Amino acid sequence: AQTVTQSQPEMSVQEAETVTLSCTYDTSENNYYLFWYKQPPSRQMILVIRQEAYKQQNATENRFSVNFQKAAKSFSLKISDSQLGDTAMYFCAFMKHAYSGGGADGLTFGKGTHLIIQP
């Protein structure tokens, strides 16, 4: 079974600053996917960024980027030039690759980090 750990229950930064959210995971799988989801006050789950474990290059999406360290099983999210609209819960999640075998699995989530962007 997989576990995902987010060690920062809450973080607060000033608008325009850069912030990094940490995530570590534990798995015996070699092929998998990692995700960061954003949950604003509307409660909608919004995919922020996705990383495939077999790709060494870190994924980026505009102001969002990850630092994926496969050997260390670490997957942190960096938000540059933070904006008030970035205030939300952020969840790190793990999914096994289709060809990993074994039973079907969905997403395994961390407990979340509540990010507050101060004006």
Partner 1 sequence: EAQVTQNPRYLITVTGKKLTVTCSQNMNHEYMSWYRQDPGLGLRQIYYSMNVEVTDKGDVPEGYKVSRKEKRNFPLILESPSPNQTSLYFCASSPSGGRNTEAFFGQGTRLTVV
Q: How many CB atoms lie within 10 A of CB 101?
A: 8
Minimum CB–partner distance for residue 81 and partner 1 (Å) = 24
List binders of partner 1 among 13-42 (CB under 8 A): 33, 35
b/e string for 9-47 if b means 16 or more Cβ within 10 A? Answer: eeeebeeeeebebbbbbebebeebbbbbbbeeeeeeeee
Question: Does 112 sit near partner 1 (CB under 8 A)?
Answer: yes
Residue window 73-92: x/- pattern of binding to partner 1, with contact defined by CB under 8 A: ------------------x-
Report which of 5, 49, 46, 48 is spatially closest to residue 23, judged by C-alpha positions. 5
Q: How many CB atoms lie within 10 A of CB 7?
A: 11
14/44 with CB nearer partner 1? 44
Minimum CB–partner distance for residue 23 and partner 1 (Å) = 11
Q: What are phi and psi of 37, to 5 degrees?
A: -115, 145
With contacts defined by CB under 8 A, name the span among 21-29, 62-70, 75-83, 105-113 that binds partner 1: 105-113
Chain positions contacting partner 1, by CB under 8 A:
4, 6, 9, 33, 35, 43-45, 47, 50, 91, 95-98, 100, 103-112
